[in-house]
Structure 1
Amino acid sequence: METIKKYPLGQLYGKPFEKKDFVALTSKEIFRLIDSDANTSVQQYHQHDFYAISWVESGQIQQNLDGKTYTLSKGDIFIACPGQVHENDFGNTDKKIKGGALLFTTEFIEQLKHNSVISELTFLDNVFSNPHLHLPDEERSSFLSVVQVLFKEVDKNHSNWAIIKSLLSAVLLFIQQSIDSVIVKSTSLRHIEVYKKFKHFLELHFKENKTPGFYSERLHISDRHLNRLLKETTTKTASDMILGRSMLEARRLLYFTEMNISEIAWSLGYQDQSYFTKLFKKETGQTPQAYRLSMS
């Protein structure tokens, strides 16, 4: 049985044990690294332990994330978070595409949080399920201007990391502003903090703990309060998010592994396969077997 491997940022350079926290790459550099001998053994579908923000200036490319395919073209930004299953499928991609990517770890983001505004970012925690954002012409021009200055600083022989961090902060805030202009919502900092803590605990415990009470107890708030905060931040209840996280993992395992339905159910904490199948169908509209067949 093949498991989904998780790769660090250093793997891109064939040096998985070399610590890297931030990389800025043009599309040409990305294709060169992916096609290099250092990455021939990388599993086609895999997880990253870092964030990846990529964009397209011209041409078209497909990105596969958690079993869904997204087509990116001019003005599009794509956001992949640590732990999401990414699939390399550049066989039919025109290598003349122009764009780039910023890759950075959670540790690098933590270094930016002395700026309180960075702490309020929501898109990096995947509040918005759609990782695909399109920028209108005017916004795209402003975004690329900041990115261009960032790349120039990175390319210097003696880069100033304080400037690089400030420019990355500007890029992240620009993306947040663009998302907020599409999805109008006023969420308090307190609600965002609770959401992030909930998501952290959920990521650690969703396989064995599926009741809201488990998480509200660790957040030192009532179930009712937790649900209210989550609904205002994500429009979903705690139960919705717990089920959604479990079913996301189920879809990953159905699509990317050869585990049978019983093994998947058991690995996610469901001892009753029929109950697991019922929940999966409620969440996706398909049985696990039908979903696997539809994705083959």
Structure 2
Amino acid sequence: MSKALIPTYDICSLAMGKPASEDLLVARFSDYLEAHKDIRFPHRHSFYHLAFFTAGSGAHTIDFERFQVAPGQLYFMVPGQVHSWFFTGKIEGYVMNVSASFFNAFLQDDNYVERFPFFSGVSAEGVVQLPRENIPAISELFESMLTEIQNPQGYGLDMLRLLTLELFIKVSRATNPASGKQELPHNYLLLRNFRKLVEQHYMQLRLPKDYAALLYVTPNYLNSFCRHMLGKSAGEIIRDRVLLEAKRLLTNADMSIASIAWQLNFADNSYFTKFFKKYTGQTPEEFRKHLA
């Protein structure tokens, strides 16, 4: 395993022989793979990343969870997630890299994109399978984006924003019809706010009651709500976020187990090791060896 940190790419660093854009890259999958043969290894992005498979096989891993490739599959990633891929045969489809700020000049709500369930930052929720009848429409949207990029006209960026939002909405409608309905705003707002708070505070706040207080609900309500929405208690969601960060840090061979325990706010190395093994079935050292 490399002794360096997992590399983090920005959009410009993945430009494909064209004028680099800081906000958007759209490409056919085969062209993208040919231009960036080295990024099959674990890496992160500083942007939202979307891949759409129309042909091919193999697997891709997002935050240490492995998924088999299938035609009609899309995977959505938020900034900071770790992923890699292991493809067999010729892969076809499309890739999109889009910055978090791409829509800011276009939408009043800076957090609009986070409303889509596939941008939750949870690996399994970011991998969706399109019904066969929806595949042509999504492919057509990607082709329209490529045409717009290759033959720029007036209001080009705004057209690309419209096409991108149309893609997100059509995928969401096809795979999760209940999302976005006006009669369900409270549940999705509470879930989104809880997940954002966990993302901000998981290193310091480990108890559901801490988050319940920030959300102005009772701990019992928060736990029952999480079980209803996600099939997990609030405590499990907090714990899973701590474990994910531990796994990400363990990919850096230069960090000692003690340093990782300290960074994650554990009392000592022994407590961290017991916690990690209890919920993963491996010690941190064993997990790190399997990454090599």
- TM-score class, shorter-chain normalisation, is 0.7 to 0.9
Aligned to 1:225: 221
Compute the TM-score of the two structures, normalised by the length of structure 1: 0.80
Moved segments of 4+, more than 4 Å: 109-119
Aligned to 1:143: 138
The correspondence of residues 161-180 of structure 1 with structure 2, limited to 5 A, is: 161-180=157-176
Aligned to 1:132: 127
1:123-149 deviation per Cα after TM superposition (whole angstroms, max 9, x unaligned)? 111356353322232122232233223
Find the aligned partners of 1:67 and 1:105 in 2 and give their Cα distance. Answer: 23
1:144-165 deviation per Cα after TM superposition (whole angstroms, max 9, x unaligned)? 2332233323332225333322
1:29-76 deviation per Cα after TM superposition (whole angstroms, max 9, x unaligned)? 3134315xxxx7x89432211111111222234423223443323222
Task: Describe the shift of the 1:141–1:202 C-alpha distance in structure 2 as closer, same or farther (beyond 3 A).
Answer: same
* SS of equivalent to 2:6: coil
Find the aligned partners of 1:49 and 1:139 in 2 and give their Cα distance. Answer: 29
Identical-pair percentage: 24
Find the aligned partners of 2:175 and 2:281 in 1 and give their Cα distance. Answer: 28
* SS of equivalent to 2:124: coil
RMSD (CA atoms): 3.4
> Do structure 1's residue 54 and structure 2's residue 51 form an aligned pair?
yes
Aligned to 2:25: 23
The question of whether the paired residues in 2 share the 8 Å contact of 1:54 and 1:77 is answered with yes
Superposition deviation, residue 117 in structure 1: 8.2
Compute the TM-score of the two structures, normalised by the length of structure 2: 0.81
Find the aligned partners of 1:26 and 1:160 in 2 and give their Cα distance. Answer: 19
Aligned to 2:83: 86
Aligned to 1:100: 94
Find the aligned partners of 2:103 and 2:236 in 1 and give their Cα distance. Answer: 28
Q: In the comparison of the two structures, how many residue pairs are matched? A: 285
Gaps of 5+ in 1: none
The question of whether the paired residues in 1 share the 8 Å contact of 2:9 and 2:46 is answered with yes
Superposition deviation, residue 259 in structure 1: 2.9
1:173-221 deviation per Cα after TM superposition (whole angstroms, max 9, x unaligned)? 22222332699x9982222222222222222221222122333333333
Superposition deviation, residue 243 in structure 1: 0.5
> Do structure 1's residue 276 and structure 2's residue 272 form an aligned pair?
yes
* SS of equivalent to 2:176: helix
Gaps of 5+ in 2: none
Task: Describe the shift of the 1:128–1:30 C-alpha distance in structure 2 as closer, same or farther (beyond 3 A).
Answer: closer
